[in-house]
Structure 1
């Protein structure tokens, strides 16, 4: 009895120790998940906290007197006169009228409240409507970047307000009267890059990203799927195919900047292709994405049960018919999922594109695959490295847009997998 009792006690002690280890292991897992979630929440809170103001713009609404004598303009249809006319003076006079205590000595300080591109906006409006010459129009313009920073971030730590006390008082007065106001920043989504943060937009980078992704998808998906089909269904098992498989797996782990060096050496230096164009960017990202697509496509082909192939062959189908009519349709959901994930990875890449010149300052929105362009991650890189703090909120806002694209692409991949997958 004593021996049995001692053995039972040993078993109980062993079970207690095992349960304690399981509880500790479970606690470690919960702690790890909590730390990861806390880091993720901190990251998103920091990005959103800095970037949500990037979706707002600060404008000033003025009653502008389009007097030809003030602007030195007789004919609004004469392009030469429009180019030489003074469109700054009407804006300054209109703003001085809204500041009752303003004097001629304050002219320069008042002029600094208006965005340098406001005169361009006025010239384009008069060019489109020549009949406005000699009339008075209520028009809205962007304020200077310093005013924009003051309105959005007055009192916030980390933001240097460059307005003097008199200018701050004027802005506060104009804001209380609704002359200076904030609204949705449509310029951020409709314009290209600019030296002035208030005029900087992401449209050029978004179009460049779409053109680059189109080239990447058009090349990487068919080549990757064809390579996977050959390696999985037709290639003989020998040392050569083993060598190819090993290299494909190794390429999937190669740092992305290596593909940028390869693209610089081959596509630009050897073939003489132009820098900073979506075609070259798409070719470089194709090289980077191919291993991921090939590996995921091979895994999808392997998941098709052998009975499908055997049944088709038993009905007299050829090897090509088995693959194209039976295996490929059943493996396509997995192939699409892997391709979308690979494209999402390519969309967020910066390093390989920096080496092929897509870091250039591009103002115009690209119209084709051979126009100079940049992409959204590179645009974020450029803005984040700018010394002006106003670009920081633009960079954070662009990161939010990029994250929205990436989350949407991953959500699409999950939806396709759930929608199209077949359970055997």
Structure 2
């Protein structure tokens, strides 16, 4: 045994256990730090999910009431002398008839209101201002009812609807309520006689704009949004794909293409109101296109969606393996045949995903649509994309600023409808990607 193998001294023997203890402490500290980091991540996710759930619950609670509307059943005498004087029954005559007088007569008979003018005014206030239009549609749909007394369900006023839904405190003094004691007594009588009930509010999905909450609907906004998304799809998709194919497959790599790429990436982050100003200056002021038309809104939203489509398409084209191109070129395919027959079909999942996500983002935009005048008060459905219309985000914006209490629940219901559209579009993007995706 040589002298180089010296025996362990007492100091070294004492130092070894201390190193082991320090190493164990460091390992425990690292594990504790990892556990804390995981706890922070879980807490952050739980925090976000809590507020997301709070948002959805609040919207559902507030918006559920908009799906129901208080309806009043009245036995209306469809007097032939009022509806068809001289026995002439045609659309023009029926459309101009005084349906309000028939409804008020039926309401007075139901409530037992006499000739006192104050009582009559209070009774008439229980009916919606659009109840005559509802009766008009019933008669024009079936003119054989003229001359008969028929039971019809018409909308009650917004104040009555608010009372029925429990949003008006009955114990408040009369001068602090929108309904007087006598009107509340009439409402209770109608409820007791099964003449006043909450029924499904189909008008919310088919009616246009109205200053009366009980008659307001999202029909025009839904059609306008569909027209705008159609314009976005027909313009942003082909232009964006063509631009991405050129930049990725044909354009030379120089300072100009680098500048274009930087600007495209920057355009994806430009505030939406800037695109609204651009649309106002170009499409409305320069080209003189119709104001408040879905085609203008669609073109403005297409400018917003183009950078997203281009970036997503370029990323999808880059993801196609080079061996696909080389194999196609090796069997004699031209450059265009390689792109159209091989590259684009394989990049289709990414292209569709980027397009749908870009359209979903555009669907929720409000600021650019406000600048091009899509806040118009539109009652009739737009027959073409060139007719005046509004959109769901703008409809929500207008209802949110309305002073009537009944518009609060309609605002929440419209937000839920918009969120449903966005969820469906994002789900479609995921399904299409899984349907067409190929793994290498």
User: Could you tell me the TM-score, scaled by structure 2's length?
Assistant: 0.91
Distance in 1 between the 2:107 and 2:149 partners? 14
Q: Contact between 1:76 and 1:126, CA under 8 Å: does it hold in 2?
A: no
Bigger Cα displacement from structure 2, 391-400 vs 77-86: 77-86
Deviations 1:331-351 (A, max 9, x none): 101110111000100111111
Larger Rg, first or second structure (1 or 2): 2
Secondary structure of the corresponding residue to residue 403 of structure 1: helix
Is 2:240 the partner of 1:224?
Answer: yes
In the alignment, what sits opposite 2:147? 134
Aligned residue among 98, 102, 114 for 1:103: 114
Q: Which residue of 1 aligns with 2:436?
A: 420
What's the offset of the Cα at 1:118?
Answer: 1.6
The alignment status of 1:306 with 2:322, answered yes or no, reads yes
Contact 1:259 1:288 in 2 (8 A): yes
Look up the match of 1:7.
19
Are positions 1:270 and 2:283 aligned together? no
**Is the contact between residue 192 and residue 362 of structure 1 (CA under 8 Å) also seen in structure 2?**
yes
Alignment of 1:11-90 (within 5 A): 11-68=23-80, 73-75=85-87, 77=89, 85-90=97-102
Structure 1 CA distance, aligned partners of 2:381 and 2:95?
23
Distance 1:391 1:408 in 2: 26
How far residue 221 of structure 1 moved from its aligned partner, in angstroms, is: 0.4
CA drift of 1:155 comes to 5.0
Partner of residue 159, structure 2: 146
Task: For residue 422 of structure 1, give the secondary structure of its aligned residue in structure 2.
Answer: coil
Q: Greater shift after overlay, 191-200 or 316-325?
A: 316-325
Q: 1:156 to 1:235 in 2, by over 3 A?
A: farther
Identify which range, 109-118 or 248-257, moves more after superposition.
Answer: 109-118
Alpha-carbon distance in structure 2 between the residues aligned to 1:404 and 1:54 = 16
Q: Secondary structure at the match of 2:165?
A: helix
Give the 3-state SS of the residue equivalent to 1:240 in structure 2: helix
Shift, 1:67, TM fit: 3.0
Indicate how the Cα distance of structure 1 residues 78 and 421 shifts in structure 2: closer, same or farther if over 3 A, else same.
closer
Please, what is the CA RMSD of the aligned residues? 2.1
**Uncovered stretches (5+) of structure 2, i.e. residues with no partner:** 1-12
Give the TM-score of the pair, scaled to structure 1: 0.94
User: In the alignment, what sits opposite 1:166?
Assistant: 182
Distance in 1, matches of 2:82 and 2:102, equals 7
